[in-house]
Amino acid sequence: MIGEAYNIGANDEHRNIDVARRIVKILGKSRDLIRFVPDRAGHDLRYALNCRKLRVLGWKPEMAFEDGLERTVNWFIENIVWWRRIKERSVEFKLFYDEYYKDRK
């Protein structure tokens, strides 16, 4: 329906640690790069979406999570010049980054 919100998800849950391990494996890096940090106040224990409205319309994921994750990581590797330019030169990005991570530095 026009004006409604539709959650997009695959009903395919993964633990954060498993996703982190998969990313370092795709990158060919050591698991030693993974760092554990204390939970922040109000940290969500689980993220889940109700995607029933979208499924009723016939939508379904085009690929498995693992394939999409690998494609995403590879996109960032292949487009490093593009995203580095944004990260290093964008005033808006710097302001966002400084505000978002001010208590984590």
| In a domain? residue 53 | yes
| In a domain? residue 87 | no
| In a domain? residue 102 | no
How many domains does the structure of the chain reveal?
1
| In a domain? residue 91 | no
Residues 6+ apart with CB under 8 A from 93: 86, 87
**pLDDT score of 11:** 84
| In a domain? residue 21 | yes
| In a domain? residue 101 | no
- The angle that helices 80-89 and 65-78 make with each other, rounded to 10 degrees, is 70
- The three-point CA angle 28-29-32 to 5° equals 155
At 8, list the tokens: 């997009």
**pLDDT score of 70:** 97
Residue 35: closest CA among 17, 15, 47: 17
Q: What is the pLDDT of residues 49-99, one digit of tens each?
A: 889 999 999 999 999 999 999 999 999 999 999 888 888 888 888 888 888
The domain of 37 spans 16-79
